Structure 1
Amino acid sequence: MILEFFSATDVGRARDNNEDSVALDEAAGLAVLADGMGGYNAGEVASQMLTSFICTELGRWLKDAGREARAGEVKRAMDICVDNANRAIFNAANTNPKYAGMGTTLVLGAFRPEGLLLGHVGDSRGYRLRAGRLAQITRDHSLLQEQIDAGLITPEEAAYSSNKNLVTRAVGVEDTVLMELHLHEVQVGDVYLFCSDGLSDMVDDDSIANLLHGNPALPDAARTLINAANDRGGRDNIALILARAEGRQRTEGRGWWPFGRRGGH
C-alpha cells in the first residue's frame, strides 16, 4: 500500500498572521499539524516549534527504526518526542516574557504497516473518509466536548456555543502534557484529513465529506475546503493535511510512501 500526501495553510479572512503550522516527512510516513495560541506572535512561535521539532526528531527516529519497529515502540517514541517538544515550548514561554502563556494544539499521524498511529492534543481534529462516509477519529479536548459528554448541551447547540475555543489540553502550557494516541486500521481508498478548527468550525462534517468525495485530487480537495471555510467567514487560520491510501505500487514521484510489509506486493 502507498500513501499520497498534501498539506496547506491559509491565514483566513479575520487574522493578520498565521498561527497554524503543518509539517510532513513523507519518507517516514509522518504528518504533523498544530494550531498555536498566545499573545503577540507567540502562538505562531509555539506551533512552528512543535511541528519542526516533531518532524525533525521523530522523522529521524522512524527512518532509522525502519518499518520493522513495533507499534508499541513507535508509540513510545511519539510520546517521548511530544514530551520533549512540550518542555521546550514550556521553557521558552517561561523564560521569554514575549512568549508567556503560549501553547498549541497537535495532531500527529504516523502511518505504519500496522495502520495509522494517531495522536492529538486539544481541538484540532483527525477525520477519515471511507466508502463515502466521514468519521471523526479524534475526540476534542475541549470544554465544549466535556459539556456534550455530560449531557449539558447537544451537538447541535454546541455549534452555536461561545465556548468553542476553550481547550482542556494544549502542548506547552504546563510542564507535562498527555497526548491521546490510538491505532487505526488503514484500508485502500481511505482519505485522512487532519485540520485546525479554522476549518472544522466553519465547515460542517457533511459538507467536508461532500467536498472530499467530489474532489478526488488532493490539491483540489484542499483548495476547495479552504475556500469553503473562507466563504463561510474565515474567522480563523486554516490548516489541513490530506493523506490517501492507494493499493498500487509506484516507484517514482514525490508524495508517495510505501508502507506495506517488507517483501510484500
Structure 2
Amino acid sequence: MGLVTIGTFARLTRLSPKALRLYDELGLLTPARVDPFSGYRYYDPAQVERARLVAWLRRLGMPLARIRTVCELDDAGAADEVRAFWASVESETAARRELASFLIAHLARGDHPMMGTTGTNGTPLTIRYAALSDTGRVRERNQDVAYAGDRLLAVADGFGARGESASSAAVAALRRLETGPLPAGGLLNALEDAVRAAEDDVRGVDSGEEESGTTLTAMVWDAARSRLALVHIGDSRAYLLRGGGLFRITHDHTHVQSQVDEGRITPEEARAHPQRALLARALGAVATSPPDLKLHDALPGDRYLLCSDGLSGVVPDADVRRTLAGSGAPADAVRALVGLSIAAGGPDNVACVVADVSAA
C-alpha cells in the first residue's frame, strides 16, 4: 500500500486532520511526504502505530513534550516512561483526593467561620504539648529548632553555613501568630502570609558564602474550632497517631521522594539512597514552590508528632508508633523519641514536637 492522504490517514488512526497537523508542527508525527506546491500531507501506513501511540498517550493526559520523549525510546524505555508518568499522576490524584474529601466534609457540615467545633460530648478541646531538640552524636552544631506553644507547633531543620540562623528565623516569623486573634475563616491565608515573611527572613540571614536555608513543618491550633492548620515545606514531617494507627500527613519534598512518586525506585530503596537528604523544596536557598497547606479536624485522643529527619531518617515508623502510643505525657514522648535517635547513632540533629488533643 502506497502513501495515503491526510484524510485517509485520519480515518485509519481515528485522529482528526487538525490533530495530525498539530502533531506535524510539533515534530511528533511528520508526514512521509509533503507536496511542495500544494503543501498537502501524505502518510505512510507504517506510521499508524506511532500515531495510535500518540493518541493513547494524549488520552492519558501526557504533555506533548513528554510524548515526544516516549516516542523516541525503545519499547522497554517507553514502558518505563509511561509507568513513571502514571505514578506521578496517581500521586497528584491522591493529594487532590485528600483536598476534595476535606472540602466535601467542610461543605456538608455547613461550617461557618464563627462556629466552634467540640469533642463528641460537646466539650471544648485543648492541646497539651512538649518540644525537644538535640545536637546528636556527630554534628558540632544544632541547626534544628523545635517549638511548642499554646497556638503554634513547629519544627525547622536548617542547612548551610547559616542554617542555625535560618531555622530560628523561620520559626520566629511564625511565632507572630501566637498573639492576637486568628482571622475568621482565613487561617490558611494567614499561615501562608506568615510563611512568606519567614521566607524573607530566612533569605536575609544567608551569608552568601554558602547557600543556607531551612525546612519548615508547623501547625497552628485554632481553639475556637478545634482544628489544626498545617504548613509544610522540605523533609521534616508531621504524623498523626489516631486509634492506634500512625499516619504521615506530610509529603517529603526531596529529589529521592520524586523518584519514588514516579515509580523509579521503591520506598525501601529511598531509605538507603545516598542523596535521600537532597531537598527539592525549602525556605531560602532552594528554589521554592508554594508550601503545602492543609486543615485537620482534631479529635479527642489524637496525638500529633512533628519531627526533623534526624528522627524519621534513622528510626523506623514502627518504632515511632510504638513509642508515641506507649509514652504518657508529651514531654515523656519527646524524650523517648530523641532517645531513639541517639540510640540509632545520632548521626544528625534531631527535633521533635508532640501535642495531645484532649477535653479542656
Residue 222 of structure 1: aligned partner = 334
Residue 23 of structure 1: aligned partner = 147
**SS of the residue 1:183 aligns to:** strand
Offset at residue 177 of structure 1 (A): 4.9
Check the 8 A contact 2:138/2:348 in 1, yes or no. yes
Check the 8 A contact 1:144/1:166 in 2, yes or no. yes
Q: Verify: 1:103 aligned to 2:216, yes or no.
A: no
Alignment of 1:115-264 (within 5 A): 115-173=227-285, 177-247=289-359, 249=360
Distance in structure 1 (CA, Å) of the matches to 2:203 and 2:288: 9
Q: Verify: 1:6 aligned to 2:130, yes or no.
A: yes
Q: Which has the higher helix share?
A: 2
Q: Verify: 1:70 aligned to 2:184, yes or no.
A: yes
Amino acid in the other structure paired with 1:32: A
Offset at residue 116 of structure 1 (A): 1.3
Check the 8 A contact 2:282/2:288 in 1, yes or no. no
**SS of the residue 1:163 aligns to:** coil
Q: How many residues of Structure 1 are paired with residues of Structure 2 in the alignment?
A: 234
TM-score by length of 2: 0.63
Distance in structure 1 (CA, Å) of the matches to 2:254 and 2:288: 18
TM-score by length of 1: 0.84
Check the 8 A contact 1:86/1:176 in 2, yes or no. no
Give the share of equivalent positions with the same residue, in percent: 35
**SS of the residue 1:138 aligns to:** coil
Q: Verify: 1:59 aligned to 2:178, yes or no.
A: yes
Offset at residue 92 of structure 1 (A): 3.1
Offset at residue 90 of structure 1 (A): 1.3
76 and 234 in structure 1: CA distance in 2 versus 1, 3 angstrom threshold: same
Larger displacement relative to structure 2 (169-178 or 235-244):
169-178
**SS of the residue 1:101 aligns to:** coil
Offset at residue 220 of structure 1 (A): 1.5
Tell me which structure has the larger Cα radius of gyration: 2
List per-residue Cα deviations over 1:169-202 (Å, max 9, x = no partner).
1111268652110111211000000000000011
91 and 176 in structure 1: CA distance in 2 versus 1, 3 angstrom threshold: farther
Residue 41 of structure 2: aligned partner = none
Check the 8 A contact 1:121/1:171 in 2, yes or no. yes
Offset at residue 127 of structure 1 (A): 0.1
Alignment of 1:84-103 (within 5 A): 84-93=197-206, 96-98=207-209, 100-103=210-213
Residue 83 of structure 1: aligned partner = 196
Larger displacement relative to structure 2 (152-161 or 235-244):
152-161
Distance in structure 2 (CA, Å) of the matches to 1:23 and 1:207: 23
Distance in structure 2 (CA, Å) of the matches to 1:185 and 1:222: 23
Structure 2 unaligned blocks of 5 or more: 1-124
174 and 12 in structure 1: CA distance in 2 versus 1, 3 angstrom threshold: closer
**SS of the residue 2:205 aligns to:** helix
Amino acid in the other structure paired with 1:164: R
Check the 8 A contact 2:240/2:302 in 1, yes or no. yes
**SS of the residue 2:281 aligns to:** coil
Q: Which has the higher strand share?
A: 1
Distance in structure 2 (CA, Å) of the matches to 1:142 and 1:4: 31
